[in-house]
């Protein structure tokens, strides 16, 4: 490995913000990685001119550190076995379902845990090599919960922040985790542990009392080594200025008009955009739409639904099963209610660039975001930010972190099919003035609570002086994709 650049600001996340792809002629290309974590953190890291430590998205040896779009990227390797046991296993078949209300049954295997520990150590070691003296290291998400304590042992001089992008479970669920003590101690290695909601921070603090016999006071707790740890909520957001700018370009406007024509100029377009994940409530939403068609409340081609389902974690069984179910349901609904050239549901299992997504948001009269449980949900915020004319309507699950921010959305309980149906109908039929009032209020809120506000809040809590986190908007620019 070449000599480290010794950064003063490091992001450590399971994935780099780009995935490595090998083209058929053997060339290496990098493509933006999926998910909300990358959306939120990429502009922050670029503004800080820091280093991002993460996995390159494929199996085997990692490339040397390199610079891309003004970010230094330091790739960490995963073997095929680690991909199975650490990533697909412990991270995505144990922690992911457990932390999302166990909406699917979490699986526990001892060899997955051993791999999780080994890979966390590798990330901690790499962060220790990359960090300059007194650097600030910001560790991200459930895949790396042991890194804070491991890194602290290796580098007691650095400030360590940890942010959990997904929910933190209620104590009864967390207690199921066979390695619960190690996970809790891993997190307590940080100076600040950040969560999406106050309830999640409270769950964490309560567990420090229950499992480690610590004495949390307010948002703080003194860890076993005598350090004070702050556990608080910092709801994440998006780069609103950038999202608005992309949505306002002629390219995006023209593409939106073209998409609407291609859909046959329906009166109402209903849109869903999610990673194909069982926490997102995709099945329930399609079922609600199907019932609205069969009840005669809605009809095709007056109304069409577009569902973008981004490919995700395709080797994990829960995800394969979900894909089969969703695709069967889409086939069934189109068989029953579509016509030649006019399907009821347009289903797209693909990744898109920012402009194409913005065009889709622009044609959506109603955006339906109905996760059974979601840490935040940035898709809901992106939709609101693209509604430059203050039109459109957002149907949003009460169980998404975003519901605490976007309070003027049409809020629904995604477990209650009738509530989802009536939420969709109310949104479609709401008077223009009502929709405008709601959208305006949500856009105003988002402008004051964008990703800069989030990063500044977290870094200030970590002790970084406010002036040092005052991003100028030029530095927050996105790449074209």
Site membership for ligand G6P, residue 451 (CB under 6 A): no
- The answer to whether residue 308 forms part of the interface with ligand ADP (CB under 6 A) is yes
Phi, psi of 110 (to 5 degrees): -65, -35
| CA 125/CA 442 separation, integer angstroms | 42
- Nearer to ligand G6P among residue 34 and residue 170 (C-beta): 34
Q: Per-residue contact track with ligand ADP, 332 to 351, x per CB under 6 A?
A: -------------------x
Which of 83, 214, 358, 379 touches ligand ADP (CB under 6 A)? 379
Task: Identify the bridge partners of residue 142 per DSSP, sorted by sequence position.
Answer: none
Catalytic-role residue among 191, 374, 405, 450: 374
Whose tokens are 């459109």? That residue is 392
318 forms part of the interface with ligand G6P (CB under 6 A): no
How far is residue 99's CA from residue 96's CA, in Å, rounded to a whole number?
Answer: 5
What would the x/- binding string for ligand G6P be over residues 132 to 171, using CB under 6 A? Answer: ---------x-----------------------xx-----
Question: How many residues lie near ligand G6P (CB under 6 A)?
Answer: 11
Nearest residue to ligand G6P, by Cβ distance, number only: 35
Tokens of 359: 């065009």
Torsion region of 344: left, alpha or beta (phi above 0 gives left; psi -120 to 50 gives alpha): alpha
Instruction: List the interface residues with ligand ADP, window 269-288 (CB under 6 A).
Output: 273, 275
Which range in 28-36, 42-50, 428-436, 446-454 contacts ligand ADP by CB under 6 A?
28-36
Site for ligand ADP in 354-373 (CB under 6 A): 357
Select from 31-39, 233-241, 314-322, 423-431 the region that touches ligand G6P (CB under 6 A): 31-39
Q: What is the DSSP letter of 157?
A: T
Contact with ligand G6P (CB under 6 A) among 17, 35, 281, 392: 35
Distance, in Å, from the CA atom of 449 to the CA atom of 444, rounded to the nearest integer, reads: 9
d(CA 61, CA 238): 33
Q: Is 374 a catalytic residue?
A: yes
Of the ranges 29-37, 80-88, 93-101, 116-124, which one interacts with ligand ADP (CB under 6 A)? Answer: 29-37
CB proximity list for 87: less than 8 A, separation 6 or greater: 14, 55, 78, 119, 143
Contact present, 38 and 57 (Cβ < 8 Å):
no
Is 191 assigned a catalytic role? no
Q: Residue 396 binds what, of ligand ADP, ligand G6P, none (CB under 5 to 8 Å, by partner type)? A: none
Scanning 3-11, 28-36, 97-105, 235-243 for contacts with ligand G6P by CB under 6 A, the matching segment is 28-36
User: Which of the listed partners (ligand ADP, ligand G6P, none) does 141 bind, with a CB threshold of 5 to 8 Å by partner kind?
Assistant: ligand G6P
Q: Given CA atoms 57, 63, 69, 71 in this order, what sign does their dihedral have? A: positive
Helix (H, G, I), strand (E, B) or coil at 35: coil
Is residue 15 part of the contact set for ligand G6P (CB under 6 A)? yes
Distance CA 252, CA 301 (A): 24
DSSP-assigned letters across all residues of 284-308? HHHHHHHHHHHTTSS-TTTEEEEEE
- Does residue 202 touch ligand ADP according to CB under 6 A? no
Comparing CB distances to ligand ADP, the nearer of 36 and 43 is 36
Report H helices in 87-146.
Answer: 96-99, 110-130
Sequence-ordered list of residues with C-beta below 8 angstroms from that of 301, at least 6 positions apart, any chain: 264, 266, 339, 342
Contact flag: residue 376 with ligand G6P (CB under 6 A):
no
Q: How far is the CB of 239 from ligand ADP (least distance, A)?
A: 10
Angle between helices 240-247 and 378-386 (to 10 degrees): 50
Residue 352: contacted member of ligand G6P, ligand ADP, none (CB under 5 to 8 Å, by partner type): ligand ADP
CB-side neighbour CA atoms (13 Å) of 188? 24
235 contacts 375 by C-beta, under 8 angstroms: no
Residue 181's alpha-carbon distances to 11, 119, 209, in angstroms, are 25, 18, 12
- What is the greatest pairwise CA distance in the chain? 69
Q: In this complex, which beta carbon is closest to ligand G6P, that of residue 29 or of residue 339?
A: 29
Give the orientation angle of helix 354-363 with respect to helix 250-262, to 10 degrees: 60
- Applying CB under 6 A, does 387 fall inside the site for ligand G6P? no
Can residue 352 be called a binding residue for ligand ADP (CB under 6 A)? yes
Q: Which of 19, 85, 100, 165 is catalytic?
A: 165
| Site membership for ligand G6P, residue 37 (CB under 6 A) | yes
- Give the binding site for ligand ADP (CB under 6 A): 34-36, 39, 273, 275, 308, 310, 351-352, 357, 376-379, 382
Which positions are annotated as active-site residues?
A: 165, 374
- Give the binding site for ligand G6P (CB under 6 A): 14-15, 34-37, 141, 165-166, 312-313
């Amino acid at each position: 490995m070449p000599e480290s650049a010794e950064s003063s600001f490091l992001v450590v996340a399971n994935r780099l913000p780009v995935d490595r792809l090998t083209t058929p002629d053997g060339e290496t290309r990098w493509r933006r990685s999926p998910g909300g974590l990358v959306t939120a953190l990429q502009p922050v890291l670029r503004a800080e001119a820091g280093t991002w430590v993460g996995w390159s998205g494929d199996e085997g040896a990692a490339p040397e550190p390199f610079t891309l779009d003004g970010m230094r990227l330091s790739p960490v390797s995963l073997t095929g076995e680690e991909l199975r046991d650490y990533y697909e296993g412990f991270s995505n078949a144990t922690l992911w379902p457990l932390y999302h209300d166990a909406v699917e049954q979490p699986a526990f295997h001892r060899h997955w845990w051993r791999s999780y520990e080994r890979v966390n150590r590798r990330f901690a070691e790499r962060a220790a090599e990359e960090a300059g003296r007194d650097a600030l290291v910001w560790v991200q998400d459930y895949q790396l919960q042991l890194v804070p304590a491991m890194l602290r042992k290796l580098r007691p001089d650095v400030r360590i922040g940890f942010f959990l992008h997904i929910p933190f479970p209620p104590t009864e669920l967390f207690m199921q985790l066979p390695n619960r003590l190690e996970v809790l101690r891993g997190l307590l290695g940080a100076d600040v542990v950040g969560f999406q909601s106050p309830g999640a921070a409270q769950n964490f603090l309560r567990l420090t009392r229950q499992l480690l016999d610590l004495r949390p006071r307010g948002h703080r707790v003194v860890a076993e080594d005598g350090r004070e740890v702050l556990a608080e909520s910092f709801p994440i957001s998006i780069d609103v200025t950038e999202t608005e700018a992309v949505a306002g370009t002629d390219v995006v406007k023209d593409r939106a008009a073209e998409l609407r024509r291609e859909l046959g100029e329906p009166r109402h377009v209903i849109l869903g955009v999610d990673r194909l994940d069982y926490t997102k409530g995709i099945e329930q939403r399609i079922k609600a739409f199907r019932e609205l068609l069969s009840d005669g409340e809605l009809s095709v081609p007056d109304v069409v639904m577009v569902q973008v389902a981004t490919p995700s974690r395709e080797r994990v069984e829960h995800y394969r099963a979900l894909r089969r179910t969703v695709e069967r349901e889409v086939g069934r609904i189109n068989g029953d209610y579509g016509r030649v050239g006019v399907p009821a549901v347009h289903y797209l299992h693909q990744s898109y660039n920012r402009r194409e997504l913005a065009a889709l948001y622009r044609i959506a009269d109603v955006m339906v975001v109905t996760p059974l449980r979601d840490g935040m949900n940035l898709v809901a915020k992106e939709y609101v930010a693209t509604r430059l004319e203050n039109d459109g309507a957002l149907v949003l699950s009460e169980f998404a972190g975003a519901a605490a921010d976007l309070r003027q959305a049409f809020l629904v309980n995604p477990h209650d099919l009738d509530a989802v149906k009536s939420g969709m109908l109310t949104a479609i039929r709401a008077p223009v003035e009502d929709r405008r009032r709601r959208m305006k209020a949500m856009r105003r809120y988002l402008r004051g609570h964008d990703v800069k506000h989030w990063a500044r809040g977290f870094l200030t809590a970590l002790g970084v002086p406010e002036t040092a986190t005052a991003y100028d908007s030029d530095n927050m620019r996105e790449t074209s994709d």
